């Protein structure tokens, strides 16, 4: 147990994208969301490169500025940041886009492989299916167009539209 609550929580830098629906599967963002749940201003950082020798120079260049903005301006209650960096040379970065999460899903596939002991295991692979490829206000668009994406993430996943919709239902236990 910590002797006091941290002033900030920074998670990452993750290898690979946490854009779009990947935010739900991400350990990096899980940490940021947990910090946010505990009232700690939190940021998750990811670079869209899975390589063991990934280039973090873009992240290194921008993380200080992003963090400084959080320190100086704060974050709304219940909100943390999901920050993703594209894999391009620094001189090709067009800037930072504050945007929304892209609607889409992963089409998962499993590759059968052998481990060093000749036992079978399955490696999760797949492709991202972007439901809105023409939307230019999303994290996937920003990253594909050489922007750093920042998506403010709410920890409250309640669908207010769903509450309104379900409130009109009739719950008759005798039918």
Cβ neighbors of 47 (< 8 A, separation 6 or more) are 13, 14, 15, 16, 54, 55, 56, 58, 59, 84, 85, 87
pLDDT of residue 40: 97
Q: What is the number of domains present in the chain?
A: 1
Domain assignment of residue 33, given as a range: 9-102+134-157
Dist CA 133 CA 151 (whole Å): 17
CA–CA separation, 44 vs 27, rounded Å? Answer: 9
Distances (CA, A) of 27 to 23, 32, 46, 94: 9, 9, 11, 28
What are the tokens at 154? Answer: 């709410």
Q: What value does the mean pLDDT take over residues 27-31?
A: 96
pLDDT digits (tens, 9 = 90+) for 33-86: 999 999 999 999 999 998 889 999 999 999 999 999 999 999 999 999 999 999
Is residue 172, in this structure, part of any structural domain at all? no
User: Does a structural domain hold residue 175?
Assistant: no
Tens of pLDDT, residues 83-131: 999 999 999 999 999 999 999 998 888 889 999 999 999 987 788 899 9
| 14 domain residue, yes or no | yes
39: domain CATH number is: 3.40.1210.10
Asked if residue 167 is part of any domain, the answer here is no
Residue 124 lies in a domain: no
Domain assignment of residue 115, yes or no? no
127 is a domain residue: no
Entry pTM: 0.87
Going by DSSP bridges, is the β-strand pair 104-114/95-98 parallel, antiparallel, or unpaired?
unpaired
Does residue 145 form part of some domain?
yes
**Residue showing tokens 């779009």:** 20
pLDDT (0 to 100) of residue 170: 86
Beta bridge partners of 116: none
Who's near 48: CB < 8 A, 6+ residues apart? 16, 17, 19, 84, 85, 86, 87, 143
């Amino acid at each position: 147990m910590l002797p006091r609550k941290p002033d900030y929580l920074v998670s990452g830098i993750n290898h690979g994208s946490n854009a779009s629906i990947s935010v739900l599967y991400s350990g990096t963002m899980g940490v940021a969301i947990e910090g946010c749940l505990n009232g700690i201003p939190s940021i998750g950082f990811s670079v869209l490169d899975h390589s063991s020798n990934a280039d973090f120079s873009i992240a290194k260049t921008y993380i200080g500025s992003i963090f400084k903005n959080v320190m100086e301006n704060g974050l709304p209650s219940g909100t943390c940041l999901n920050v993703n960096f594209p894999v391009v040379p620094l001189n090709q970065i067009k800037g930072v886009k504050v945007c929304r999460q892209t609607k889409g899903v992963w089409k998962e596939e499993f590759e059968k492989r052998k481990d060093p002991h000749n036992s079978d295991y399955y490696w999760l692979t797949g492709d991202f299916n972007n439901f809105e490829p023409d939307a230019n206000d999303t994290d996937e668009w920003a990253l594909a167009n050489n922007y750093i994406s920042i998506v403010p993430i709410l920890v409250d996943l309640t669908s207010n539209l769903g509450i309104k919709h379900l409130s009109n239902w009739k719950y008759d236990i005798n039918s």
